[in-house]
Amino acid sequence: AQSVTQPDIHITVSEGASLELRCNYSYGATPYLFWYVQSPGQGLQLLLKYFSGDTLVQGIKGFEAEFKRSQSSFNLRKPSVHWSDAAEYFCAVRGGYSTLTFGKGTMLLVSP
Amino acid sequence: NAGVTQTPKFRVLKTGQSMTLLCAQDMNHEYMYWYRQDPGMGLRLIHYSVGEGTTAKGEVPDGYNVSRLKKQNFLLGLESAAPSQTSVYFCASSPLWEPQHFGDGTRLSIL
C-alpha cells in the first residue's frame, strides 16, 4: 500500500524568506503526486501535480516542486514567502481509481 | 459554477443519532470521494464511487454507509453516531485521471 510522510508538523518562516516543505512517498510504480493547501476553515486547493515528464513542476501562487525518484521525494518550494501563505500543506499520492493517500500535513507559520 | 457543495456545514449530534451528509457536484465528474480529517492525521478516505450506482470502501469505512443514486450526488450516512466520528468531513470529485476538487467541508460534533 502507498504512503506519504511529511516529516515536519510545523515550520516557521520569516516573510520574504525561502521555503521548502518536505514530502517522502512510498509507491510501487511511477507515482502521481500532488500538493494541496488548506487555509483555516476551508477546503483543499490544488497547488500543483506531477504525473510524468519534467521533474520540476510549477504551480499556482509561485510554488514549485521537484520530483526525485532516487530519494522518493516531492518537496515543495517557494523562493519568497508572503504572510498570506500561512496555511496547512498536504502532500498526496494517487492510488487506484484516483483515490488519494495524504500525508499528515505541515502547518506553515509566517513571521513578520 | 458551484463546484463541490457540501451540506450541512455544521452539525451537532448526540451519540446514537443518525444523519446523512450530502455532497453535490456540478462538473459531471465520474469519481466522488468522502474523507475525514482529524488533527494530526491528515485526510483519510472513507468511501468512494467510480460512477452512478457504485461504491467502494476506503481506508476507514467502519460506521459509515454511502450511496450514489445520481451521478452528481454522493451521500454519506452515519446510522448510529459515536463520539469517535467527531471530525471534519470532506467530499471531493474528479474526472478520470485528473486531480480531485474538494468541497469546503462539514464539521460534525458528536456528544
- The per-residue pLDDT for range A4-63, each reduced to its tens digit, is 999 999 999 999 999 999 999 998 788 999 999 999 888 999 999 999 888 999 999 999
- The per-residue pLDDT for range B58-110, each reduced to its tens digit, is 999 999 999 999 999 999 999 999 999 999 999 999 998 789 999 999 999 99
How many Å lie between the alpha carbon of B2 and the closest alpha carbon of chain A?
14
Give the integer Cα–Cα distance in Å for A27 and B49: 22
Are the beta carbons of A46 and B41 separated by less than 8 Å?
A: no
Give the integer Cα–Cα distance in Å for B62 and B34: 13
Which of B41, B94, B104 is closest, CB to CB, to A98? B94
Q: What confidence score (pLDDT) does residue A26 get?
A: 92
Find the mean pLDDT for residues A90-100. Answer: 92
Q: What confidence score (pLDDT) does residue B1 get?
A: 60
Q: What confidence score (pLDDT) does residue B76 get?
A: 98
Residues 70-109 of A with CB under 8 A from B: 90, 97-105
> Strand B65-67 relative to strand B87-94: parallel, antiparallel, unpaired?
unpaired
Shortest CA distance to A3 belongs to which of A96, A98, A94, A106? A94
Are the beta carbons of A100 and B100 separated by less than 8 Å?
A: yes
Find the mean pLDDT for residues B25-44. Answer: 95
Residues from chain A contacting residue B58 (CB–CB below 8 Å):
99
Find the farthest-apart pair of alpha carbons in chain A and give their distance in angstroms, rounded.
43
Q: What confidence score (pLDDT) does residue A30 get?
A: 83
- In this predicted structure, the answer to whether residue A79 has a pLDDT above a threshold of 80 is yes
